[in-house]
Chains A and B, each alone.
Chain A
């Protein structure tokens, strides 16, 4: 049975660290910070993933994304509060200033040609933007493959 208290502690630690540093901690770091067994932390991470609070990488069980924060380098980069963040898509890139309640500059690239594109969030509004956002997959099927929506 999963320890619901530990699940909450893990969630708050993961998101707190990601927001403060731009780095999403992994199970060893989480276990050390919370002084909890790594196996229990991994179980808590699986519980959070099953509730779609985070996404785990398919093979090693590491956190891929604690949305909107991405644990690995990506083409969607966000600068906010003097910290650099990564996001898995443009929705999450915009979600970072939304979650932080902070101004941000988003550096992205055209999904087709790779041309650099920039969006800015200032004072809780989209102050400058370019381009169009495309969802390839209908909403009901997003979780068929959350890495391709």
Chain B
């Protein structure tokens, strides 16, 4: 995921690649997601998030809806 100056630059980038716009986050949403995702990554006790934990992390950053759905297709766990 990339950072853009504003939505116009997102749309320009999408047009240049023949892509439809995906999902936009505020930097603060991205920070909340990153903080929740990577806290503990250096710990010996770290383990991959479960599907349910991943859903909770996304929801905690306000990321809900079809774009963020992890269950269609059998519940693949992203990243």
A residues neighboring B (CB under 8 Å): 8, 11-12, 15-16, 19, 51-53, 67-68, 89-92, 94-96, 98-101, 108-113, 115, 117, 119, 121, 124-126, 129-140, 142-143, 146, 149
Contacts and interface: CB of A to CB of B under 8 A. Distances in A.
A26 B34 CA distance: 25
A142 B24 CA distance: 15
Contacts of B13: 111-112, 134
Interface residues of A, dominant DSSP: mixed
Contact of B5 (A19, A67, A89, A112): A112
Interface string B20-38: 0111111111110111011
A140 B6 contact: no
B78 A91 contact: no
Interface residues of B, number: 48
13 contacts: A52-B77, A67-B79, A98-B34, A98-B38, A121-B31, A131-B3, A132-B3, A133-B24, A133-B29, A136-B1, A138-B67, A138-B68, A146-B79
Contacts of B68: 138-139
Contact of A135 (B22, B66, B70): B22
A110 to B, nearest CB: 5
B4 A112 contact: yes
Nearest to A18: B42
Contacts, number: 164
| Residue of B3, B24, B68, B78 with most chain A CB atoms under a 10 A cut-off | B3
Contacts of A135: 1, 22-25, 67
A139 B4 contact: no
Contacts of B42: 15-16, 19, 99-100
A88 B56 CA distance: 24
B3 to A, nearest CB: 4
Given A98-B35, A140-B73, A131 B5 contact: yes
A99 B24 CA distance: 23
| Residue of B24, B30, B67 with most chain A CB atoms under a 10 A cut-off | B30
